[in-house]
Amino acid sequence: MALLETVSGPARLRELTIDELTTLAGEIRAFLIERVAASGGHLGPNLGVVELTIALHAVFDSPRDRLLWDTGHQSYVHKILTGRQAGFDRLRKSGGLSGYPNPAESEHDLVENSHASTALSYADGLARADAYLGRTDRAVVAIIGDGAMTGGMAWEALNNIAGGPDRPLIIVLNDNERSYAPTVGGWAEHLADLRAGRGTDVFSGFGLDYLGPVDGHDIQAVQDALRAARALAKPVVVHVITEKGKGFEHTENNELDLGHAIKPMDPRTGRPLGTSVPSFTSVFGSTLVELAEERPDLVAITAAMTEPTGLLPLRKQYPDRVIDVGIAEQHAVTMAAGLSMGGVHPVVAIYATFVNRALDQLLMDVALHKRPVTFVLDRSGVTGDDGPSHNGMWDLSVLQVVPGLRIAAPRDGARLAELLREAVAWSEGPTLLRFPKGAAGDDIPAVARFGGMDVLRRTGSLDVLIVAVGALAGLALTVADGVRAQGIGVTVVDPRWVTPVNPALADMARRHRLTITIEDNSRTGGVGSAIAQTLRDARVSTPLREFGIPRRFLGHGSRAEVLAACGLTAQEISRSVVEFVAELGAGPQHAELDAEGSMW
Ranking 71-80, 147-156, 263-272, 361-370 by mean pLDDT, the lowest is 263-272
Same domain? For 121 and 152 the reply is: yes
Same domain assignment for residues 414 and 498 = no
Q: In the 3-class helix/strand/coil scheme, how is 403-414 assigned residue by residue?
A: CCCEEECCCCHH
Task: Tell me which H or E stretch contains 330.
Answer: helix 329-341
Cβ pair 39, 265 in contact under 8 A: no
Which pTM does this prediction carry? 0.91
What is the rounded CA–CA span in Å between residue 30 and residue 503? 59
Helix (H/G/I), strand (E/B), else coil: 550: coil
What are 330-371's pLDDT values in tens digits? 999 999 999 999 999 999 999 999 999 999 999 999 999 999
Within 8 A by CB and 6+ apart from 404, the residues are 367, 370, 428, 429, 430
Q: Which among 434, 460, 479 is the end of a domain?
A: 434
How high is the pLDDT of residue 273? 80
Helix (H) or strand (E) holding 481: helix 473-484
79, 178, 315, 357: the catalytic one is 357
CATH number at residue 64: 3.40.50.970
- End-of-domain residue from the set 368, 403, 434: 434
Q: Is 116 annotated as a binding residue?
A: yes
Pairing relationship of beta strands 490-494 and 453-459 according to DSSP bridges:
antiparallel
The verdict on 187 and 75 lying in the same domain is yes
Same domain, 504 and 417: no
Same domain, 353 and 422: yes
Check if 329 is active-site.
Answer: yes
Stretch (H or E) spanning 597: none
| Single residue among 410, 434, 458 that ends a domain in this structure | 434
Residues 249 and 105 in one domain: yes
For helices 473-484 and 570-584, what crossing angle results, to 10°? 50
Q: Which domain holds residue 551?
A: 448-584
Q: Give pLDDT, residue 202.
A: 94
Judge if 305 and 372 occupy the same domain: yes
To which H or E segment does residue 521 belong?
Answer: strand 514-522
Residue 233 binned pLDDT confidence (cut-offs 50, 70, 90): very high
64-78, 259-273, 385-399, 558-572: lowest mean pLDDT where? 259-273
Q: 119 and 257 share a domain? A: yes
Between CA 330 and CA 336 the distance in angstroms is: 10
C-alpha span between 163 and 430 (Å, rounded): 40
Judge whether 304 lies within some domain: yes
Confidence at residue 595, expressed as pLDDT on a 0 to 100 scale = 36
pLDDT band, residue 597 (cuts 50/70/90): very low
Q: What pLDDT digit, counting tens, does each position of 374-415 carry? A: 999 999 998 878 878 888 889 999 999 999 999 999 999 999
Which carries the bigger pLDDT value, residue 290 or residue 261? 290
Running DSSP on this structure, what letter comes out for residue 279?
B
- The answer as to whether 439 is a domain residue is no
Collapsing DSSP to helix, strand or coil, 377 comes out as strand
Are 145 and 71 contacting, i.e. CB atoms less than 8 angstroms apart?
yes
Q: Does an H or E element contain 240, and which?
A: strand 236-241
pLDDT higher than threshold 60 for residue 589: no
Is residue 554, in this structure, part of any structural domain at all?
yes
Q: Is 414 annotated as belonging to a binding site? A: no
Q: How far apart are CA 326 and CA 536, in angstroms?
A: 44
Write the pLDDT tens digit of every residue in 433-448: 999 998 999 999 999 9
pLDDT of residue 594: 39
Separation of alpha carbons 236 and 354, rounded Å: 30
Alpha-carbon dihedral of residues 332, 334, 336, 339, nearest 10 degrees? -130
pLDDT at 394: 92
Residue 591 domain-assigned (yes or no): no
> Among the options 92, 93, 167, 244, which is catalytic?
244
Cα gap 390→388, rounded to integer Å: 6
pLDDT band at 428 (very low <50, low <70, confident <90, very high): very high
Is 73 annotated to bind ligand?
yes
Check if the beta carbon of residue 250 is closer than 8 Å to that of residue 43. no
Does some domain include residue 600?
no
37 is in an annotated binding site: no
Q: What total number of domains does the chain contain?
A: 3
pLDDT in tens, 205-219: 989 999 999 999 999
Same domain, 97 and 169: yes
Judge if 419 and 454 occupy the same domain: no
pLDDT at residue 599 tops 70 = no
* Spatial distance between the Cα atoms of 235 and 209, rounded to a whole number of angstroms: 7
Q: For residue range 273-287, what is the model confidence (pLDDT) as tens digits? A: 876 789 999 999 999
Question: Exposure of 356 by Cβ count < 10 A (0-12 exposed, 13-18 middle, 19+ buried)?
Answer: middle
Between CA 279 and CA 296 the distance in angstroms is: 26
Mind listing the pLDDT tens digit for each residue in 470-481?
A: 999 999 999 999
Q: Is the pLDDT of residue 107 over 70?
A: yes
Element (H, E) at 316: helix 312-317
DSSP letter (8 states) at residue 204: H
146 is known to lie in a ligand binding site: yes
* 176 in a labelled binding site: yes
Quick check: is 239 in a domain?
A: yes
Q: For 45-108, what is the HEC assignment?
A: HHHCCHHHHHHHHHHCCCCCCEEEEECHHHCHHHHHHCCCHHHHHHCCCCCCCCCCCCCCCCCC
Collect all residues with Cβ–Cβ distance below 8 Å to 471 and sequence separation of at least 6: 280, 381, 409, 410, 411, 412, 435, 436, 441, 520
67 with 116, same domain: the answer is yes
Element (H, E) at 598: none
Residues in the chain: 600
Catalytic residue status for 357: yes
Tell me if 254 is assigned to a ligand binding site. no
Task: Give, rounded to a whole angstrom, the gap between the first and last alpha carbons of the chain.
Answer: 76
pLDDT digits (tens, 9 = 90+) for 234-260: 999 999 999 988 988 777 665 445 556
Mean pLDDT of the chain: 92
pLDDT per residue as tens digits for the range 110-162: 998 888 999 999 999 999 999 999 998 899 999 999 999 999 999 999 999 99
- For the question of residue 579 being annotated catalytic, the response is no
Q: Is the pLDDT of residue 97 over 70?
A: yes
Is 248 known to sit in a ligand binding site?
yes
Which residue among 112, 329, 519, 546 is the active-site one? 329
114 assigned ligand-binding residue: yes
pLDDT at 270: 77
Q: Is residue 598, in this structure, part of any structural domain at all?
A: no
Residue 128 shares a structural domain with residue 252: yes
- Residue 434 and residue 555 in contact, taking contact as beta carbons nearer than 8 Å: no
Contact 191, 201 (CB under 8 A): no
- Whether 251 maps to a domain, the answer reads yes
Q: Per mean pLDDT, which of 89-98, 259-268, 496-505 is the most reliable?
A: 496-505
Residue 504 labeled ligand binder: no
**Three-state DSSP class for 455?**
strand
Which percentage of the chain shows pLDDT scores above 90? 79
Q: Is 371 helix (H, G, I), strand (E, B) or coil?
A: coil
CATH of the domain at 533: 3.40.50.920
